[in-house]
Amino acid sequence: MLPVPRADLAPNTAAFETIPLVKATGFREYDARWMFGPEINLLGVQALGLGLGTYIQELGHSKIVVGHDFRSYSLSIKQALTLGLIGAGCEVLDIGLALSPTAYFAQFDLDAPCVAMVTASHNENGWTGVKMGAQRPLTFGPEEMGRLKEIVLGGLWKERPGGGLTQVEGMAERYIADAATRASISRPLKVVCACGNGTAGAFAPEALRRMGVAVVYEMDCELDYTFPKYNPNPEDSVMLHAMAQAVRDFGADLALGFDGDGDRCGVVDDEGEEIFADKIGLMLARDLSALHKDATFVVDVKSTGLFATDEVLQANGANTVYWKTGHSYIKRKTSELGALAGFEKSGHFFFNPPIGRGYDDGIVSAAAILAMLDRNPDRKLSDLKKALPVAYTSLTMSPHCPDEVKYQVVEGVVAEYQALQAAGGKILGRAIRELITVNGVRVALEDGSWVLVRASSNKPEIVVVVESLRSADDMRALFREEVRPRLAKRPEVGAYNQEI
């Protein structure tokens, strides 16, 4: 019997080799993330597998798909997780090296209700984690993660006989073939495919070619888990700038960039201009709402306010619901409402039938973007972007803040804004029109501009986004004169990953 996990073990000790190490902070709102070594060891991962297997048995399931991303330690972590799942009596279907959406696709392809994808997505090297679900196409939310945490940390797992392992061959090919059916492009399009040396490099270029486009440059598509240039994160300015330069160098019609586990897609247009994912979402919503009248869209609170005011969406009868940031939250709300699509500013897009199966898939998102261009043969991507109302939206900025205190810090900021609104206070001369507090606080101002402060769901960080309807200078002022000074008063808040 595996011992109950502890949180106080140090690497390079006998105890580290004989007792599971699992830090409680790794159980996040909707998936699990740890630093491998300091926060979880292989026995800890085995305990996680035992706990997950016990939990899905509680839910009446035993069949589970597992896969892993491309990092030096991901295969060994998946094997430790698998050992735990088998010990809990589960039937494990191992699809090998995979993207997260490949694992989600495999749930449908193999008729398996559950999934456990070993990935740290775009996180820096040293991180690992697991994305889990037991009700396709959904992934765990806070309730499920809470129960899993209780089982694992309490050693409450139940070992059962009858577990087994099947190595599934050919899943990558079946996934690529299916993704390629999501678009059939007749218009000549030259595409830069950017993967940041992440796992998507093994899948995305071939999928795009099968959709009918010319991939003129495979940018950093060689797998390299050291990420020698930058993390594979198409929301990061460094990767976006590299994509933009490649578009100019190769005269491409657009660049499509994929994150480390392939469930997100970033976009640069034909003029080498980066288009943030929420604006791409608005362009797709305009296009799709013309084909699907009275459609509902779900967007996260980090996204542009234009979804609520856009005249094209209103003319097409579209309805937009703002909801909590996080792939699990938006995916679940999109399914719950029967929405046509859900869009997250981070680049997680969720398409329900007939476009997709409801889970976040960067390659299916790329197909939707290419299909939109194919339906507008006389317009470039930059033309579609310029047709949007003007809004100046910042990058997503993330100051460091320890997991143990980040939620309390955000609660304090929420309380400050509530007091400011109650007192009739203003922000840069503008009254507060509304506070949206489903996820941190989104402070909407009387002119339509807004600022957002929330806790990151999967990293020790605060998340900050601002948007101005006035100017880029005003957008910067909202950050530099309002949000940054407010957070700077708190000693727990550290350096930003990027600033405007």
Instruction: Report the catalytic residues.
Output: 121
Burial letters 238-267, b for 16+ CB under 10 A, else e: ebbebbbebbeeeebbbbbbbbbbbbbbbb
The rounded distance, in Å, linking the Cα atoms of 9 and 13 is 8
| Residue 40 bridge partners (DSSP) | 22, 36
The rounded distance, in Å, linking the Cα atoms of 99 and 363 is 10
User: Tokens 């005003």 label which residue?
Assistant: 474
User: Tokens 């085995």 label which residue?
Assistant: 46
The rounded distance, in Å, linking the Cα atoms of 363 and 373 is 15
User: Tokens 């234009």 label which residue?
Assistant: 306
Instruction: Reply yes or no: is the peptide bond before residue 354 cis, omega within 30 of 0.
Output: yes
The rounded distance, in Å, linking the Cα atoms of 252 and 145 is 43
Helix (H) or strand (E) holding 436, with range, is: strand 430-436
Q: Is the dihedral of CA 196, 197, 203, 208 positive or negative?
A: positive
Q: Which ranges of 154-276 would DSSP assign to H, the alpha helix?
A: 171-180, 204-211, 237-250
Half-sphere exposure of 355 (CA within 13 A, CB side): 30
Do 128 and 261 contact (CB within 8 A), yes or no? no
Q: Are strands 450-455 and 426-427 parallel, antiparallel or unpaired?
A: unpaired
**Using CB atoms within 10 A of its CB, is residue 230 exposed (0-12), middle (13-18) or buried (19+)?**
middle
User: Tokens 């300091």 label which residue?
Assistant: 38
Structure tokens at 384: 């579609």
The rounded distance, in Å, linking the Cα atoms of 30 and 123 is 16
> Alpha carbon 38 to chain centroid distance?
24
CA 353 → CA 42, 119, 129, 340, distances in Å? 39, 26, 29, 7
